[in-house]
Structure 1
Amino acid sequence: MRNVHHPTVAELRAFVACMEKGSVTAAADSLSLTQSTVSRSLALLEEKLGVPLFHRVRKRLVPSDAGRLFAVDAAGILARLEEATVKTMAFGGRRDILNLAVLPTFASRWLTPRLQGFSTSAPEISLNLAARLLPVDHERYGFDASILRTAQGPAGFGALMLETDRLVPVASPRLMEGGAVRDAGALLALPLLQQATRPTLWLEWFREAGLDVRNILRGHRFDQFATVVEGAVAGLGVALVPDFAVRRELEAGLLVPASPRTLSLAPPYTLVYPQRSVERSAFRTFLRWLTELAAEAPSQLAGTAPDGTGAREPSAGVVPPGPTVTDGPPLPE
């Protein structure tokens, strides 16, 4: 049954334009419509909602309380519609689109730099990457897969391990006076940059080193590893971050190791996907490409299984899950 009280897009556009311009005439000019068309759309909208959205004062439109409240939502709806339209148009004539939810830093530092190879081998497939810090509902939001810190997906999901969670302490050469600190205890005298979604990293690192951990929580705090890295480059302190997140800064000399001691944690970074995704040839192509990456030598990609073997090549139709490292729910980046 048609919801007759739902506004049309034309009515919302007319209303928002009237809110912005303050008159029907100015709103009609901005929309390249006739004054009578805008007036009719506004009248139909008020009839549907059952409340006046404006007070007519001479030739001016003064928003009512209901109008001011509705304007916020109406403008938001139109903005989201515009965004969705542009996103869809951006795919052009490509037939296959894969929607992936990816941890922000992993997306920018691990996945995106490698995507040129995938685009070259499968130019007909477009990827829509959405940054997500927390697990997503694949069915509700239409994601074909997600990349999380987890050992395995939910029941009925496949999983492929991509990268171990190996953290390294790094800092600006200026802060380290040009060289690495070989004594882990010496780091206690320096500001330690904190990652808000994983606040215990330094605690675990110093505990492994057998050091007093009472003074480790001082230092600037950031909510993503990418900004922690930028803070370290700026000389704000020592960062404890995944090795894949700082490879280019280390190669460029913008950062140096602050200690040879590293911290390896479980679970790893893993692609998880519902079995329905495997039914799509585009996803099988993407998964096969990722599996080949995960099987590369550790010197090029620290994404091998704990026993040193690479991930297995998926067969058509059913793709084996990646190696399980530990149980537990997905974790932040």
Structure 2
Amino acid sequence: MANFQLRVVKLETSVNLRDLRAFCAVVEQGSITAAATALAETKGAVSRRISRLEEKLGTPLIQRGSGRALPTPEGLVYRQRAIEALEILDTAQGELMDQQVTPQGHLRITVLQGFANTLNLGDCLGRFAQAYPQVSVDVIMTTDILSLQEDQIDFAFRLVPGALPDSNNRALLLARVGLGFAASPEYLKVNGVPKHPNELQRHRLLLPRTFGSGISISMQPAQQPEMTETFYFEGHITCPDMLFLADTALAGGGIALMPPSVQKAYVDNGQLVPVLGNWESSQAGNLYLVYSGGPLSPKAKAFKDFIKEAFRHTPWV
């Protein structure tokens, strides 16, 4: 008996589930003919399934004769374990089908620390929670770029200049983020107003750390694309939270680089002044939702579709 159980452990992963169900049906019905009727198969098909299963396991499971099919001692033990396994599989399948109707479970997402406010991510997740109350979300805010696989992350919001590096992950482009410089009137009065991007080098620059400590930007005079130049800027203060950069600029901390949508309210009330307004940037930051390859679970698909729709109307696009 011990040897039989050992063979089951080694071979059961290759057992055909329909063969396994046929074996259980034969034991339950007491004959191959009755099992064939219950399974809507021919008697020959069920008999071949039993033979194939016995060959896989290397031991007889059914005693045939006199129109009856009784389990051997080994078959009786195997049937009990088989029923338990099939019940687990049926339960898992039922739960999965339920999730397809109503997404449920847990998701882990990551975003650069401080950048969530700039994205208005709290409002977005609040509406997602209303739409999918059976899906819980763990938001990991960090200054590190986490690995989806090693850190078990389902989705990552990433803002990068240009395209993402090649990887096995998939990415959904949510928005192209325009960028512009702005400073407080007080700062410009004391430090002067730059007329050319090269003059920014002598100013205190407030840069989003989503791009690292420095950033290269392609710029050209308004409506003169043939005059495009690439400039590299180092940040005096860097932070992933662009609202923080706006507050720093309001305090006279320097010239901040941020999306025009973030600048707008401050510019409209005169708290900030656009800098280099006669220059245009031909390079925007791209905001991506990054996730692993392969089929998405119902909860993950619901999240991806919700975020895609939410950012469809963002003023950053």
Report the counterpart of residue 276 of structure 2 in structure 1: 259
Residue 168 of structure 1, aligned match among 160, 165, 180: 180
Matches of 2:292 and 2:230 in 1, distance apart? 41
Cα offset, 1:274, TM superposition: 0.9
Against the structure 1 CA distance between its residues 233 and 119, is the aligned structure 2 distance closer, same or farther, given a 3 Å change threshold? farther
Alignment of 1:141-290 (within 5 A): 141-149=151-159, 151-152=163-164, 155-176=167-188, 183-184=195-196, 188=200, 191-195=203-207, 198-201=212-215, 204=217, 208=220, 220-226=236-242, 227-247=244-264, 249-250=266-267, 253-260=270-277, 261-265=279-283, 268-275=286-293, 278-290=295-307
Report the counterpart of residue 50 of structure 1 in structure 2: none
Against the structure 1 CA distance between its residues 141 and 295, is the aligned structure 2 distance closer, same or farther, given a 3 Å change threshold? same
Report the counterpart of residue 129 of structure 2 in structure 1: 119
RMSD: 4.0
Task: Looking at secondary structure, tell me which structure has more helix per residue.
Answer: 2
Report the counterpart of residue 79 of structure 1 in structure 2: none
Secondary structure in structure 2 of the residue aligned to 1:119: helix
Higher-Rg structure is 2
Does the aligned pair in 2 maintain the 1:169–1:262 contact within 8 Å?
no
Does the aligned pair in 1 maintain the 2:183–2:250 contact within 8 Å?
yes
Which moved further from structure 2: 182-191 or 138-147?
182-191
Which consecutive unaligned segments of at least 5 residues does structure 1 have? 1-93, 304-333
TM superposition score normalised by structure 2? 0.50
Question: Deviation digits for residues 256-292 of structure 1, max 9, x if unmatched?
Answer: 322323434366111110135x532222111111221
Matches of 1:263 and 1:123 in 2, distance apart? 42
Does the aligned pair in 2 maintain the 1:96–1:282 contact within 8 Å?
yes
Q: What amino acid does structure 2 have at the position aligned with 1:243?
A: P
Does the aligned pair in 2 maintain the 1:190–1:238 contact within 8 Å?
no
Which consecutive unaligned segments of at least 5 residues does structure 2 have? 1-102, 222-226
Report the counterpart of residue 98 of structure 1 in structure 2: 107
Does the aligned pair in 2 maintain the 1:194–1:222 contact within 8 Å?
yes
Does the aligned pair in 2 maintain the 1:173–1:256 contact within 8 Å?
yes
Does the aligned pair in 1 maintain the 2:217–2:231 contact within 8 Å?
no
Matches of 2:281 and 2:232 in 1, distance apart? 19
Task: Looking at secondary structure, tell me which structure has more strand per residue.
Answer: 2
Q: How many residues align?
A: 201
Question: Deviation digits for residues 170-200 of structure 1, max 9, x if unmatched?
Answer: 11233346xx969446964973324365444
Cα offset, 1:242, TM superposition: 3.2
Identity of aligned residues (%): 21
Matches of 2:285 and 2:158 in 1, distance apart? 9
2:298 is equivalent to residue 301 of structure 1: no
Against the structure 1 CA distance between its residues 156 and 220, is the aligned structure 2 distance closer, same or farther, given a 3 Å change threshold? closer
